Structure 1
């Protein structure tokens, strides 16, 4: 049981292989448990905490000599992963892990308190610098990914709002006010006719087959109380008839 926890880069850790062996699980299932926790941490905005407490690395299989993924886990990371292991035997093993973490932390503290040569100190500082650079690089990549996702979402929202705005129905008079200088409703109706979007039938404007793609016949009440229909057009029609001006 003395190998449950060990010191790696001046940190007290265990690894996914040890967790799998002690709890009687397949290593791939422990990896899945770890990566599930990392995913939840990312969703909760705790990416930095995950990077600091879960360190992905590799090990060489003693038989086929191939390299495979594993993770180093701090005590906090181990606690998260092992939280769901609740059989009586698993609870005993968790207690042993916690005891080993405490013992190894005390051992590490003794090592740190011992005087070191200048060469050893320089090596430690160099290792810490490299590790910090690695962590910063990981965080930078994660930040870029999040920024890219946010930009994509913003672009989609902007496009949707623009599309919805351009699909809104307005009268020819309102379309005319979009031009510079403004055009009258009669002029816009003529442009719509010229573009092949409507024609005059019995004194009323009726949408052509092409015009029906961009219009709707809306009921309106006249001052004398009678009901009639008026063609309203999507805002984007303004750009379609621009060339007819």
Structure 2
């Protein structure tokens, strides 16, 4: 089988739904449906299936999934037949080869960084000292910037003073936004996507400590009770959202009010 079955993404061997569909002779939309209908835990899904996209021949952006070896194994568990078994074996071999390639590459990269002579070691030491000096200079400059900006950090101070998690609607209110609009902004910026009615973070942000899933009970129209997971944001997550919105030019209401009341006349500044 000459087709590339496994490739590297974020230092992990993965495959994708397009390749699985082609190799197993299935329609891609059917493979996407199989993935979405897997009855696995949210934790497993977020770790082993990553929603992505590709551009088709009509130049349209279409959805696809990247998946780890564990995700692939769970997906194709129900694919039966002699040919399906042959494809599974080929995939297992390719995943193993890719893991070994990554391992050897990592070892080579680490060993190539070691100095090979006394002169190289001295040069490396000089570079490290220069880096440390630059870091110290950057630290002092940053401390000065923080000192100058201290009177303006009212909203950030408020965030740091709190230890509780908050829902997205509460955060949005601080900026004069609706929870729906803020969720949309986070989705547009590639921070989160929706799974079974819950907003969850993309894999690059999952281990940052930005969110906490909270179980919420609700009553259906027929009187039955249900349970749904709701994403709440930690104070670290609020700071992340604050930085993201600041880059968009969206300022917290508290900071807007302070800016309005501390404007210095142009003539005074010139003097």
TM-score normalised to the size of structure 2?
Answer: 0.44
| TM-score (norm: length of structure 1) | 0.49
